[in-house]
Structure 1
């Protein structure tokens, strides 16, 4: 009976490994935690029992079963999460990389405890030690995984770093598989055992160090990116503020001059000089500045919208802004400003490539509920839009446009959505942003 437990214990580490993989994903589950726990626990227990019996019956190493099981579990893991497949797969690989190092350390301990063990599994003590190591690591990693790593996953400013992160755990997993001795007795030759232990412990330390460095680097990139975004928004607000000040000053002068205008108009009326009166009224109306100053009650959003409004006016692009948003919002102002700036910049670029008589941009934004903001931007385009597999590509480089890609990430990170459509020469962007309930 104890012999059957040995492969089962090796497979049992999949349970703490799965738990560790889900710790940073607590806000991104597609199904409720209770149902997810019941499904995974029953599935993993069945896998440990049936898989352990299978390995025991045919005397094969559990790694032969763990590798395909890991692939299938990774697919199921990604399917239960709202995050991108890239992030989910990277987290799964990161956990597997640590557990591969722990397995190598356990292999050395098992060889010391059971020097004559030539069977393909750890001894009973080795299997128990392996599980203890894995559960201890889960407890040690609980706080950083559920807070620091969770913040990295939620942060869309460093999305591109996930494209390279997978290389690190993949390399360590490969090395740990490569150094598995085909004959356990080799470890007892000369000083190989001491060297093997040092290598395994060093690899685990290096992997954890690299993870920590990746976190520090990602946070630094995130802070720099946020600072850049805030500076951009502040610049737009400053531009809007300057424009408003200029308009207010012009209005003040216009009011000051109104008394003189009335006097002149009165003289024209007394002389019944209707032609000069009409000509003077025409000139006077052109000198009065526009009063279209406030686009939105929220100052940050008004600054961004006002910046593009005046750019459109300067370029003689007809535009309509209808931003029915309150001063206080539960949705992040930064997110709304970033979405608007990306969409309005894309609309501007598309309009500049369109015939002047066909240019028009419409911007709508409103509250759907206390914590949901709907944004819609429509613009005419020249009829040439690159599209591949339902994704609109950039007109300036290969791949999805950076603006639409950024909008998609911002929307989806909070459980919202975005949709880009084209019809009859009109490109439409519909975005829903979710915030915290009040």
Structure 2
């Protein structure tokens, strides 16, 4: 029974990874398509001698690119990879995302373990936010910084329905509502590094805070 559940969980992870990679490829194709359109437009303005309109177009394009540039640049390549992958998936699913992250390029803990923690917490946040039928109400906020020689992680998401607890543990946002292999993995990794984790829910939002030695 346990083996089947673990196998099912691993299959879910593979499926999620494939979906995230496909989402990144879709965005890359979109960027390529837009790039060619912009080049053609600018060439047309130049050919017509419309330098004023070309300048206006470049100014508008620069402002547009600035507004959509939500790529996380925390200072740690592996953390950037997992954050950009998960948050890109969240945006694809019509979840409003706000994120700020500062992470040292070198850590005393395993970067893979940190990515497992972040990945599982973000998976749960995405699943919880998707329960809201109102897309405008779907939000995820990620804040990561260094506080008192510790890596501080805060992930907040809006959520639909009641948040459930059992034996002092919050239940997973997945159907079935168990604590979940992902959240169990997070708990074990926090214990491994003698870290701290606390979750709370209030006013339709769920927040998890983590402190880890760096």
TM-score range, shorter chain: 0.7 to 0.9
1:316 aligns with 94
- Counterpart in 2 of 1:406? 185
Q: Which has the higher helix share?
A: 1
SS of residue in 2 equivalent to 1:382:
coil
CA drift of 1:410 comes to 1.0
Equivalent residue runs for 1:199-214 within 5 Å: none
Q: How does 1:39-438 map to 2 (within 5 A)?
A: 242=25, 246=29, 249=32, 253=36, 256-257=39-40, 259-260=42-43, 262-263=45-46, 267=50, 285=61, 290-354=68-132, 355-368=134-147, 372-395=150-173, 396-397=175-176, 399-435=178-214
Looking at structure 1, the residues matched to 96 and 161 of structure 2 have their Cα atoms a distance apart, in angstroms, of: 19
Superposed CA offset, 1:124-169 (max 9, x none):
xxxxxxxxxxxxxxxxxxxxxxxxxxxxxxxxxxxx89xxxxxxxx
Distance 2:183 2:168 in 1: 12
* Alignment partners' CA distance in 1, 2:177 and 2:39: 56
In the alignment, the residues of structure 2 paired with residue 236 and residue 334 of structure 1 have an alpha-carbon distance, to the nearest angstrom, of: 20
Higher share of residues assigned strand: 2
Distance across 2 between alignment mates of 1:338 and 1:252: 34
Tell me how far 1:389 sits from its aligned partner: 4.0
Which structure has more RCO (C-alpha within 8 Å, separation ≥ 6)? 2
Give the structure-1-normalised TM-score.
Answer: 0.38
TM-score (norm 2): 0.72
Secondary structure of 1:375's counterpart equals strand
Q: Residues 398, 359 of structure 1: CA spacing in aligned structure 2 closer, same or farther, 3 A cutoff?
A: closer
1:350-393 per-position Cα deviation (integer Å, ceiling 9, x unaligned): 111113231110011122355x3211100011241111343212
Cα deviation code 1:16-46 (max 9, x no counterpart): xxxxxxxxxxxxxxxxxxxxxxxxxxxxxxx
- CA distance in structure 2 between the aligned counterparts of 1:379 and 1:386, rounded to whole angstroms: 15
Residue ranges of structure 1 left out of the alignment (5+ in a row)? 1-159, 162-220, 270-276
Contact 2:72–2:83 under 8 Å retained in 1: no
Structure 2 unmatched ranges of 5 or more: none
1:233 & 1:330 partners in 2: Cα distance?
A: 28
